[in-house]
Amino acid sequence: MSYVQNTDRDRNEMLEAIGVSSLDELLEPIDESLRVHGLLDLGPPMSEAAVVSRCTELARRNRPAGVAVGFLGGGIYDRFIPAVVRYVLSRSEFYTSYTPYQAEVSQGTLQAIYEYQSMISRLTGMDAANASLYDGATSLAEAMLMACGIKRKGRILVPRALSQRIRMVLESYAAGKRIAVEEVPFSDDGTLDAASLAKRIDQETAAVVLAQPNYFGIIEPAGEIAALVHERGAMLIAYVDPISLGIIAPPGEYDADIVVGEGQPLGNAMNFGGPLLGFMATKKDYIRKCPGRLISATVDRDGRRGYVMTLQTREQHIRREKATSNICTNEGLCAVAAAVYLAALGDTGFRELALQCAAKSRTLYRMLKETRGCSLAFGENFFQEFVVNITSPLGTFLAEAKSRGILAGIPLGNDFPELGEGALLVAVTERRTRVELERYRDVVRQAGGES
Amino acid sequence: MSYVQNTDRDRNEMLEAIGVSSLDELLEPIDESLRVHGLLDLGPPMSEAAVVSRCTELARRNRPAGVAVGFLGGGIYDRFIPAVVRYVLSRSEFYTSYTPYQAEVSQGTLQAIYEYQSMISRLTGMDAANASLYDGATSLAEAMLMACGIKRKGRILVPRALSQRIRMVLESYAAGKRIAVEEVPFSDDGTLDAASLAKRIDQETAAVVLAQPNYFGIIEPAGEIAALVHERGAMLIAYVDPISLGIIAPPGEYDADIVVGEGQPLGNAMNFGGPLLGFMATKKDYIRKCPGRLISATVDRDGRRGYVMTLQTREQHIRREKATSNICTNEGLCAVAAAVYLAALGDTGFRELALQCAAKSRTLYRMLKETRGCSLAFGENFFQEFVVNITSPLGTFLAEAKSRGILAGIPLGNDFPELGEGALLVAVTERRTRVELERYRDVVRQAGGES
Amino acid sequence: MSTTIFEKGRDGRSGSFIPRNDCPLDDLDIPERRTLPLDLPCVAEQAIVRHYVELASKNYHIDKGMYPLGSCTMKYNPIVNEEIARLDGFAGLHPAQDEEDVQGALELIYELERALSEICGMEAFALQPAAGAHGELTGMMIARDYFRDRGESRTVVIVPDSAHGTNPASVAICGFTPRTIQSNGRGLVDLGALREAVGGETAVLMLTLPNTLGLFERDIAAVIEIVHDAGALVYMDGANMNAMLGIVRPGTIGVDIMHVNLHKTFSTPHGGGGPGSGPVGVREALVDFLPVPRIVKKGGRYTLSHESEKSIGRVHPYFGNFNVFVKAFAYISSLGAAGLREVSENAILNANYLLAKIAKHYDITYSGPCMHEFVASGRNLKKYGVKTTDVAKRLLDYGLHAPTIYFPLIVEEALMIEPVETERKGDLDHFAGVMARIAEEARENPDLLHDAPHDTPVRRLDEAAAARSPDLCWPIELE
Amino acid sequence: MSTTIFEKGRDGRSGSFIPRNDCPLDDLDIPERRTLPLDLPCVAEQAIVRHYVELASKNYHIDKGMYPLGSCTMKYNPIVNEEIARLDGFAGLHPAQDEEDVQGALELIYELERALSEICGMEAFALQPAAGAHGELTGMMIARDYFRDRGESRTVVIVPDSAHGTNPASVAICGFTPRTIQSNGRGLVDLGALREAVGGETAVLMLTLPNTLGLFERDIAAVIEIVHDAGALVYMDGANMNAMLGIVRPGTIGVDIMHVNLHKTFSTPHGGGGPGSGPVGVREALVDFLPVPRIVKKGGRYTLSHESEKSIGRVHPYFGNFNVFVKAFAYISSLGAAGLREVSENAILNANYLLAKIAKHYDITYSGPCMHEFVASGRNLKKYGVKTTDVAKRLLDYGLHAPTIYFPLIVEEALMIEPVETERKGDLDHFAGVMARIAEEARENPDLLHDAPHDTPVRRLDEAAAARSPDLCWPIELE
Ligand SMILES: Cc1ncc(COP(=O)(O)O)c(C=O)c1O
Ligand SMILES: Cc1ncc(COP(=O)(O)O)c(C=O)c1O
């Protein structure tokens, strides 16, 4: 394929208009010695037909959600995405447009993002949300930088029960500003160890991160933790699962200062983990400290409502090294997907969805509770994900499950040895059916020697 | 799912505004005894998720072109359709619009169809084309009715080497107007038997149908046949494969009177045989006798170019029983697909494509010629499709081919016993690769006892 | 005014999507080579995309707004059905594949046929017809062969004057003679006129139900009886089935043959003029006359049956518009029995509500309650020199689509309005408000209407000029 | 002005796509229940569709027309790549799946990394960064850990004054101190200033090549030598790589670390602000510092390697923006080596051609030849009281998009114009024609420009009011 439109004739006319006799003359600023001679080692052009074959063949060598019954979660979830989301996203007006630098011809994107912000504010119960960040992990890192900036302190406490992937991203970001990231253990019931937390918050602590639910799926007693944190003068950063907010108290209810999270579950396909959607919401007072774009309503010169990017003096293209963040391109289209998804769910649908996840995950939990071959790490105080301990060798169990079409969960043994070798993080979304849950139970039962 | 938007409250308000107390009151004109009591036996509503599962499961129980290597043709071809065609067709402005009754807000569809007409005129070399008919078969039937109307005669000659499916449609249409459809045999080399044709054209013959290429893929000596037909005062209806027109003389070159054909190969997916795209082109003199819609350029009140449906006095909604045809809804979107496809191919691409089909089919033909296990019915005077005779039992051969991922062709034995039990119609489009042709050859070779 | 694709370039770079040719091109020895130039446009992909995006922006469509076209049932086209129909397991099937390779497709067709039969109370449906008119023709062929089979010579088909133009046209193509009967003062079949028209040569009464005035034939039982008593058949044009889903089953009340339009009642998109699908259903006595092949289920397997000596043969080379079936099947499955009834109830509710609002500003000849649509008349505006066309064109200026106009022919200055069930009360209020405003404009500033539309991509187009000397093809450049 | 989705309905019928619940809902015992109302919109699917279709109609986009935004490389986004990326075999993968279940995905990432390395002449690429700025930050982390590993304390990163804002911002977030150096009169790095600035505390020179004026640093060899001689590293912001594909390989000329933007150079769509992807490439000495995991190929199998003690760790929880990789991979595969070179040649040709035309009406500070873009200045219009913003807004009236304005900061009233390779000569002629006309309007009727835009969905918006009291959230109704 070639997407270049100029023909040989066009090129000749253009060279003439420029006043050079060959393209080479235009390359004059590049010293001969610096240039590539000959072609790159990349193979010849391919027809569209050939590219489609090649890529389809690669796609076939994977085992996607449509084929396997997945119980994998850990932040990324296999949810049912209604066709209307893809419809909106496949409109070229949305997907091929640039950042809305010329607001007057970008009202579609601007209003869509404004509505997204408004929805995130509603979900989280916060005053305002930004237009998106890369993903949940870097959003948490940005929240950390923001809190340390506001507090002018350099220490942050994170729960042990946090995804180690997120933790690693946090550490990379912390290293630059020499922020100390310290861990708070979890207690026997899987919740944050409040006593330990209370002890660890010191003068230098800018903020405490609360993961709600935490990495093990457990719902934390957020109100208590928030009170404890605020009493000791630190800020509370809540890292939340957006779907859980359909039934679980939003950070606005327990007075969190900054809220971040991974927005993939809001209408975005899993896509092997990217693009994701980092969301951030905060209190009114902190808006000017917030990273990323913000869309505001305003009026045009005829007094009609319209939308613009605002508070740009926070951003890198104006403030440069003093910007609140270096972010420029973010995840605009994923934010639009989230908005369409939430609109399609609606108020009641959103609650129903969250409830359904809670119900289905509890059904599996209770089935497993009565099954030999496994034990359950914690109680029922989870949202849609829980930790199960497989008694038999985990590798064999996972292979057996897969042979029955089931991706049984994410092994936790490496990252959390304290949970045991057989620990598995099991997520149950609304896509799973009772029959599939029973099949899961049967695999465990068999592995446990029952039949 | 429900796509009804009114809420209970809306309904109540509306009933009140109408002045009735229940919906039942509005059903008053329908006698109680005529009404359905209770629900139809159709099962409960399904969620979008459930419908997707159900339909995906049905789709999985088929073996589509993406999975099997197809050599099936006979009028419907597995061609590579570039993504740009689907892009245009998936724009709701095209696919969800109605027939362009209000021309001022339908210029998109109208211009697209005008351009389609212009392209069909070019392909066929005729003065004008209509906006589409249902499919090639009914187009031929319409051409028959049109010719019989123009000539005021009731007899029509068709080649023996015509798809029997098309023939059957033709007969259904002929029966109403009591038109006699008679057959002209093919000679040993697969072409129309000219001597026989000459004998059969009589005073009552309105038209002769020329299939170019014919059902066996053979390219007819169209010029000679046309001369013969015209000398005897009959009209010539050419039924052509549109792709062949990239390299084969178009009906305009041999003075055909009406040209029809199946437009599916022009950018439309096979879709298990529907929707198809009937195209029709004719000479200037016959335009007012032509069935179906015609789009014309015109000017608006400010003198700007625009497009309208024209010569509507030919059509059923004005002329009623005297209309040239009963057609109303046709295949508008398929015509747009054809236009986009042809634009994407362009002049050179279109020729290249036709040439490639000729080259690839000849390559297989020549391979088979040197292979034991089969014989070839006719010579190399074909476009992209030819008849091969499998020596071994056909059922076994086809099953063996399928086990190697190949759909080897359409058996002709039933419809054309004179070709022998092992006769197979083999189509080779541009999608087939040399490697696939070799695989085909190997299957034949094996069946023939070679190895 | 958009330049044509031909003007966008005849010398551009196109066609690079074609697979690479890996076979020899020399020595092809192809007879009858083309000498005529092709003169297709030659433009790169981006130019094509921009061209069609530009054209798209000049179309009204259901995703933009309401389409109150009477008799057209322009309802919301569910997106998920489009996605499903595009699955390779459906779109990528060749129609000549072995039965064993297309079991899913055959099951879908079979199930759709069963569902339509249940909905309509018919014994069986044939899905070959590619649109409503094609279904009518097929139905006429069935009637013709039925009487031929019985050795009866019946040549006349009675068609009410309110019928859609395809009805008499289909009748004529099938070799029958259409005979028109006039409606009575209430817009319904005149039983007296019917009795008079019916006789030994009557083959069929072709009836639209609800009729094109949006009225249910109150005397339908009597109508059917009269026809049956004369030994003739009742054909129902089911284009208006959207009014009766789960409410009336035509087969149960005595209809012998009917068609439905999947592209209306069952939500498949209209595509700017097709593809559609017009399945034909029949009562038990007529099943043998249906087109072949029929799909039969034998022990969990689906297979094609060609065994029917009485069959009219084929009206389509394959199975009909399968891609449309997939969407209709998904639609019926989604809604289920309860959802379908909800459709018709809301179609009727919306129409009556709109009727009540429109009646304040336009004439209504036939009083309600109407079913899924109603016909208003713009004749009350004639005194201001305003025609229904003017009203229609003015609606475009408000960003709305016009109703069907000048049909049915029996209503002067007809405005045939079908709101459909998928519009919400607020949408109807908006439409009614604009209609009221236009009636006011007609009084106060009729030229505003005469000159309409003002704000559309082009203004009123000269149809007469086009008809006088049609320009059907962009001039060909013969290099 | 479109009503918001919240105004479209708070009481409508939504959410009916959710799978049926087949598990008990009672006795769920969920702690910490939500009490705050949600107040999400509640509207039916059709209303959502119409809402977004209406919003869509208010967006400029590449499928509508040219986007001459300098530094943004808004090129045609091939449709087929979108289709490929949507394949369930890619889109439906969970990132925690076993390696054996995602071999195709891993191969794709591996091959893309190899292709980028070949194109850029780097030893290896890491694909985790989600955008260009993220790549810059990752690059800075690599440099930081590299020096830490060597026991060197270097704290300063030198950044030319023409740099994009993300450059100093990324430097700062990583804990380095940015030091700005001024460009010379030709818009290039001033070797003298550089020599002065470079020292023992210099960690990195961060350079955009070609620079944001669209100029290739003629003295790049000397520049790199100076930096390397001081023991520092050269980081290249590769956002402008579209000028150099198959022409210059940065690694070969001495660049140590660089990023590319797949959402610019490699044609993946920008989505109105993302997602993007900003892979980081390094020379051999720095490979150990790349983020983990790395994908390695062992005997035809692809596997994840976490073994790298020196790695900076993770900058993304998974592999990066995989969906974007798929499109870039398809793009690079389609074009091949010859196609990529053709891209840059035409990007350069188009820019120089447009420069020649624009130079007749606007000031050009730095003379050409330019590479893929150039910077004009509207300062010649100041005498008519016209600002560059006015020119930009007026362009919108002509149905075109404006260039990047007021950047780079070192050019007064800057108009940064990048035509890209996928526009054809005719498109450039049209753009240049409109620019000429606007310059004329500025002279003859400056208010036309001050009041622009006139023909856009909204007119000029009050940004100051928004900044004073931002309205970031549609008011919540607490029932
Ligand atoms: C009442 C009626 N009958 C028949 C038809 C013809 O259907 P089709 O356009 O699908 O051929 C229509 C379509 O407009 C109609 O409204
Ligand atoms: C020169 C240059 N550097 C860096 C960036 C930042 O890239 P991104 O927006 O992907 O973070 C840009 C994007 O605008 C750019 O033009």
What SS3 string covers B305-331? EEEEECCHHHCHHHHHHHCCCCCCCCC
Q: Does B49 touch chain A (CB under 8 A)?
A: yes
Q: Does B67 touch chain A (CB under 8 A)?
A: no
For residue range D118-163, what is the model confidence (pLDDT) as tens digits? Answer: 999 999 999 999 999 999 999 999 999 999 999 999 999 999 999 9
CB contact under 8 A, A275 and D130: yes
What is chain A's pLDDT, residue by residue, as a tens digit (451 residues)?
899 999 999 999 999 999 999 999 999 999 999 999 999 999 999 999 999 999 999 999 999 987 889 999 999 999 999 999 999 999 999 999 999 999 999 999 999 999 999 999 999 999 999 999 999 999 999 999 999 999 999 999 999 999 999 999 999 999 988 999 999 999 999 999 999 999 999 999 999 999 999 999 999 999 999 999 999 999 999 999 999 999 999 999 999 999 999 999 999 999 999 999 999 999 999 999 999 999 999 999 999 999 999 999 888 888 888 889 999 999 999 999 999 999 999 999 999 999 999 999 999 999 999 999 999 999 999 999 999 999 999 999 999 999 999 999 999 999 999 999 999 999 999 999 999 999 999 999 999 886 5
CB contact under 8 A, C64 and D50: yes
CB contact under 8 A, C424 and D12: yes
Is the pLDDT at B448 greater than 90? The verdict is no
For residue range D292-317, what is the model confidence (pLDDT) as tens digits? Answer: 999 999 999 999 998 889 999 999 99
Which residues is D377 bridged to in the sheet? D363, D414
A106: phi then psi, degrees, rounded to nearest 5: -135, 25
Is the pLDDT at B157 greater than 70? The verdict is yes
pLDDT given for residue D14 in this prediction = 82
- Comparing CB atoms, the residue among A105, A322, A434 nearest residue D456 is A105
Is residue C368 very low, low, confident or very high in pLDDT (cuts 50, 70, 90)? confident
Q: Residues 6 or more apart from A341 whose CB is under 8 A from it?
A: A81, A82, A85, A266, A267
Taking CA atoms only, the protein residue closest to ligand 2 atom 5 is D132
Nearest to C351 by CA among C272, C428, C456: C428
CB contact under 8 A, D19 and B50: yes
Q: Considering chain B, what is the average pLDDT of its residues?
A: 96
What's the Cα-to-Cα distance from D268 to each of A134, B88, C208, rounded to whole Å? 16, 19, 53
What's the Cα-to-Cα distance from C250 to each of C120, C238, C245, C281, C370, rounded to whole Å? 5, 9, 10, 10, 18
Which residues is C236 bridged to in the sheet? C207, C258
Is residue D10 very low, low, confident or very high in pLDDT (cuts 50, 70, 90)? confident
In one-letter notation, the amino acid at residue B359 is A
Read off the tokens for A47. 């027809």
- Comparing CB atoms, the residue among D94, D134, D355 nearest residue A270 is D94
How many other CB atoms sit within 10 Å of the CB of residue A431? 20
Residue C277 in contact with residue C262, Cβ under 8 Å? yes
Q: Name chain A contacts of B79, Cβ cutoff 8 Å.
A: none
Is the pLDDT at C16 greater than 90? The verdict is no
Longest dimension (CA), chain D: 77
What is the DSSP code (8-state) at residue B103? G
Nearest CA in chain B to D83: B83
In one-letter notation, the amino acid at residue A424 is L
Q: Does D76 touch chain C (CB under 8 A)?
A: yes
> Please, which chains are in contact with D (at least 3 CB pairs closer than 8 A)?
A, B, C
pLDDT given for residue B146 in this prediction = 98
D386 vs C17: CA distance, rounded Å: 47
Mean of pLDDT values over B182-190 = 97
Mapped onto helix, strand or coil, the DSSP state of residue C4 is: coil
In one-letter notation, the amino acid at residue D162 is S
How many contacts, defined by CB atoms under 8 Å, are there between A and B? Answer: 18
> Please, which chains are in contact with A (at least 3 CB pairs closer than 8 A)?
B, C, D
What's the Cα-to-Cα distance from D330 to each of A56, C28, D82, D129, rounded to whole Å? 11, 34, 9, 19
Test mutation, D23, D45, D64, D216, chain A, max A CBs within 10 A: D23
Longest dimension (CA), chain B: 85
Nearest to D6 by CA among D38, D37, D43: D43
For residue range D388-426, what is the model confidence (pLDDT) as tens digits? Answer: 999 999 999 999 999 999 999 999 999 999 999 999 999
How many contacts, defined by CB atoms under 8 Å, are there between C and D? Answer: 42
The CA D188 to ligand 2 mean position distance, Å, reads: 19
Mean of pLDDT values over D186-212 = 96
Q: Is the CB of D135 under 6 A from ligand 2?
A: no
Mean of pLDDT values over D58-64 = 98
Q: Does A2 touch chain B (CB under 8 A)?
A: no
CB contact under 8 A, C12 and A5: yes
A209 vs A170: CA distance, rounded Å: 11
For residue range C299-315, what is the model confidence (pLDDT) as tens digits? Answer: 999 999 988 899 999 99
Q: Where are the alpha helices (DSSP H) in B232-330?
A: 316-319
Is the pLDDT at D169 greater than 60? The verdict is yes
Q: Is the CB of D212 under 6 A from ligand 2?
A: yes
The radius of gyration of chain B's CA atoms, rounded to the nearest angstrom, is 25
A253 vs D377: CA distance, rounded Å: 52
pLDDT given for residue B252 in this prediction = 98
How many other CB atoms sit within 10 Å of the CB of residue A222? 25
pLDDT given for residue B231 in this prediction = 97
Task: Report strand pairing: C202-208 vs C177-181.
Answer: unpaired
How many other CB atoms sit within 10 Å of the CB of residue A231? 10
Which residues is A133 bridged to in the sheet? A278
Q: Does A104 touch chain D (CB under 8 A)?
A: yes
pLDDT given for residue C479 in this prediction = 63
Q: Considering chain C, what is the average pLDDT of its residues?
A: 96
Pocket of ligand 1 (CB under 6 A): B 328-329; C 71-72, 131-133, 164, 166, 208, 212, 237, 239, 261, 276, 278
Task: Report strand pairing: A385-390 vs A128-129.
Answer: unpaired
Q: Residues 6 or more apart from B196 whose CB is under 8 A from it?
A: B184, B185
Is residue D479 very low, low, confident or very high in pLDDT (cuts 50, 70, 90)? low
Q: Name chain C contacts of B61, Cβ cutoff 8 Å.
A: 89, 103-104, 107
Characterize D275-285 residue by residue with b for buried, 16 or more Cβ atoms within 10 angstroms of its Cβ, and e for exposed.
bbbbbbbbbee
B388 vs B390: CA distance, rounded Å: 6
Cis preceding linkage at C408, omega within 30: yes
Q: Is the CB of D387 under 6 A from ligand 2?
A: no
Q: Does B87 touch chain D (CB under 8 A)?
A: yes
B96 vs B89: CA distance, rounded Å: 10
- Comparing CB atoms, the residue among A3, A50, A83 nearest residue C44 is A3
CA angle D359, D365, D368 (to 5 degrees): 65
Residues of chain B above pLDDT 90, percent: 95
Is residue C41 very low, low, confident or very high in pLDDT (cuts 50, 70, 90)? very high
Q: Is the CB of A328 under 6 A from ligand 2?
A: yes
Residue C162 in contact with residue C239, Cβ under 8 Å? no
Q: Residues 6 or more apart from C440 whose CB is under 8 A from it?
A: none
For residue range C441-463, what is the model confidence (pLDDT) as tens digits? Answer: 999 999 999 999 999 999 999 99
The CA C31 to ligand 2 mean position distance, Å, reads: 58
Q: Is the CB of D133 under 6 A from ligand 2?
A: yes
CB contact under 8 A, B49 and D12: no
Mean of pLDDT values over D324-328 = 98
Q: Name chain B contacts of D18, Cβ cutoff 8 Å.
A: 47, 49
> How far is C-alpha D450 from the chain's CA centre?
30
pLDDT given for residue D359 in this prediction = 96
The CA C408 to ligand 1 mean position distance, Å, reads: 12
Interface of B with D in 41-70 (CB under 8 A): 46-50
Q: Name chain C contacts of A9, Cβ cutoff 8 Å.
A: 11
Q: Does B174 touch chain C (CB under 8 A)?
A: no
CA dihedral D21, D23, D26, D32 (to 10 degrees): -80
D423 vs D430: CA distance, rounded Å: 11
Q: Nearest-CA distance from A326 to chain D in Å?
A: 5
Test mutation, C3, C48, C57, C424, chain D, max D CBs within 10 A: C424
For residue range B361-401, what is the model confidence (pLDDT) as tens digits? Answer: 999 999 999 999 999 999 999 999 999 999 999 999 999 99
Mean of pLDDT values over D71-88 = 97
C414: phi then psi, degrees, rounded to nearest 5: -65, 140
D167 vs D154: CA distance, rounded Å: 18
pLDDT given for residue C477 in this prediction = 87
Residues of chain B above pLDDT 70, percent: 100
Q: Is the CB of D372 under 6 A from ligand 2?
A: no
pLDDT given for residue B314 in this prediction = 86
The full DSSP string for C336-354 is: HHHHHHHHHHHHHHHHHHH
> Please, which chains are in contact with B (at least 3 CB pairs closer than 8 A)?
A, C, D
Residue B309 in contact with residue B295, Cβ under 8 Å? yes
For helices D103-120 and A48-60, angle between their N-to-C axes, nearest 10 degrees? 130
pLDDT given for residue A451 in this prediction = 57
ipTM greater than 0.90, yes or no? Answer: yes
Q: Where are the alpha helices (DSSP H) in C208-285?
A: 220-229, 250-253
A96 vs D77: CA distance, rounded Å: 7
- Comparing CB atoms, the residue among D86, D326, D349 nearest residue A14 is D349
A395 vs A400: CA distance, rounded Å: 9
